[in-house]
Amino acid sequence: MAFSWRLIGLCILLLSSIVIADDDISRAAPANASTSCNNPYRLVLVKLWIDGAEHEQIGGLSAAFGSLLPTNTKNTPRLPATYAKPLNGCSSSSSKLSGSIALALRGQCDFLTKATVAQAGGAAGILMINDQEDLLEITCPDNSTVSNITIPVVTISKAGGDVIEKYISAGKKVEILLYSPDRPIVDYSAMFIWLMAVGTIFCASFWSELTTSKESNGYEQAPEVNAGGAREEDDKEILNITTKSALIFVISASTFLLLLYFFMSAWFVWLLIILFSIGGVEGMHSCIISLVSSKCKGCGRKTLNLPLLGEVSVLSLVVLIVCVAFAIFWAATRKASYSWIGQDILGICLMITVLQLAQLPNIKVATVLLCCAFLYDIFWVFLSPAIFHDSVMIAVSSLFSYIYFSVPSMLTFCIVVSSQF
């Protein structure tokens, strides 16, 4: 019965994945903007160099006016970042802006004025820092013309501004490169993630069959009493999700989202990395042990007596050491271009293990869980601004946009933009 519900869950995933939302923010400027404000809003990558060393990227959004950004990094210079003085950028800056990317805080005057002042000071571009954790859509004031703005105008979130401020306050040289890569018509990375997700659910559904040894189906089975005892022991490891636990799951997810919203910082990111690594190690260890044990029945019989741990299987100990080393290597190189491979391996193993332990007993619980998840998305995206004056889900997503690969998600795929090379 449990196996059939896994197949039903797989079918639900396949049907629900037919509708794929486009996460591209690029779109036309609002109709109420002036005729010169016709630039589309485009996602911008703000690449940072600190004292000459390349660092993380920050996500930004281009304005409805100003020059268009290049779509690749070829022949695009990186320029020093300089704060306007005053910081709001509303009047002539006392700091030298010539040949630099001007940084200005939101407020005190309209964005067109800030861009005009920065351009008059010789800035090659202006980066406007929002006072909230979202990417602000910069439009033109009513009845204004912007034909004289010839520098790129980009906005970033408060969190992104805090990253730049941290380095500048420490006396480090900060250089910035702005570009807006084109999104492909067919997003192969999204397709790859979808295939990995479906493949993970498929493997979890048939995992017990894949890891069942052939000898267990032969004539040399253990006595029925022992087999029954084994089945009882296996049943104790299964977590049947109830209606109450489905509600608790959504409440817990909401609580965790609020923690990300209010307390996202470097230490919190490391906490998430540690928790993800622990779960990934446990999942990888469980998957490897079950696969090896199904192919080699005698491999796990040799044991060792260790202090504090007691009798431990040699196979289990060796696999645990390998898994821990793998997780440490991923955590240490999580910002490398190839780190998505290790992250996906840990995430897939973790999800297979969780799906082996958690089961939906009937369609009622499945319906409650899906409805709660739907309401969860609707509330935190569209209704949360009425309480928090900000879309919590979008704010947290914008935080992830500038912490590139720092916060682990279950499945990721490295998008290699060919124009960067």
| pLDDT tens digits along 127-172 | 999 887 777 778 777 766 556 788 899 998 888 888 889 899 888 9
Handedness of CA 255, 378, 194, 238 (dihedral sign): positive
* pLDDT given for residue 418 in this prediction: 34
Least confidently predicted of 63-72, 220-229, 300-309: 220-229
Residues paired with 50 in a beta bridge: 53, 174
Chain-wide mean pLDDT for the chain? 77
Asked if 282 contacts 350 with a C-beta cutoff of 8 angstroms, the reply is yes
Q: Read off φ and ψ for residue 45, nearest 5 degrees.
A: -100, 125
Mean pLDDT of 299-312: 81
Of the two residues 13 and 318, the one the predictor is more confident about is 318
Residue 221 vs residues 42, 182, 295: alpha-carbon distances, Å: 64, 60, 16
Give, rounded to a whole angstrom, the gap between the first and last alpha carbons of the chain. Answer: 52
pLDDT given at position 321: 94
Residue corresponding to tokens 């790129």: 152
Residue pLDDT, tens place only, 398-418: 665 544 444 555 556 544 333
CA-based torsion, 15, 16, 21, 23: positive or negative: negative
Q: What confidence score (pLDDT) does residue 22 get?
A: 39
The confidence score (pLDDT) of residue 10 equals 41
Pick from 169, 95, 94, 161: which is nearest to 133 by CA? 161
* Residue 132 pLDDT: 78
Query: Which distant-in-sequence residues (6+ apart) come within 8 Å of 200 by Cβ?
Result: 348, 351, 352, 355, 411
Residue 91's CB is within 10 A of a number of other CB atoms, namely 14
For 32, the 3-state DSSP assignment is: coil
The residues facing 60 across adjacent strands are 44, 156
State pLDDT tens for residues 307-341: 877 888 888 899 999 999 999 999 888 877 788 88
Tens digits of per-residue pLDDT, 210-252? 777 554 554 444 444 443 333 434 444 677 788 888 888 889 9
* CATH 3.50.30.30 segments of the chain: 42-179
Query: Could you tell me if 163 and 58 are in contact, meaning their C-beta atoms sit under 8 angstroms apart?
Result: yes
Strands 79-83 and 358-359: unpaired
- The CATH code of domain 42-179 reads 3.50.30.30
Asked if 138 and 63 count as a contact pair (C-beta separation under 8 A), the reply is yes
Nearest to 30 by CA among 45, 40, 44: 40
Q: Average pLDDT in the 187-211 region?
A: 83
Task: State pTM to two decimals.
Answer: 0.62
Pick from 316, 94, 76, 249: nearest CA to 176: 76
- The angle that helices 243-263 and 392-402 make with each other, rounded to 10 degrees, is 60
Q: Which residues touch 377 (CB under 8 Å, ≥6 apart)? A: 393
Q: Are 282 and 320 in contact (CB under 8 A)?
A: no
Contacts of 185 (CB under 8 A, 6+ apart): none
Question: pLDDT value at position 16?
Answer: 37
Residue 6: pLDDT band (50, 70, 90) is: very low
Instruction: Give the burial string for 284-299 (b: 16+ CB within 10 Å, else e).
Output: bbbbbbbebbbeeeee
pLDDT category at 54 given cuts 50, 70, 90 is: confident
Residue pLDDT, tens place only, 250-299: 899 899 888 888 877 667 778 888 999 999 999 999 999 988 888 887 77
pLDDT band at 30 (very low <50, low <70, confident <90, very high): very low
What Å distances lie between residue 79 and 48, 49, 97, CA to CA? 10, 9, 11
Q: Which 8-state DSSP code applies to residue 214?
A: G
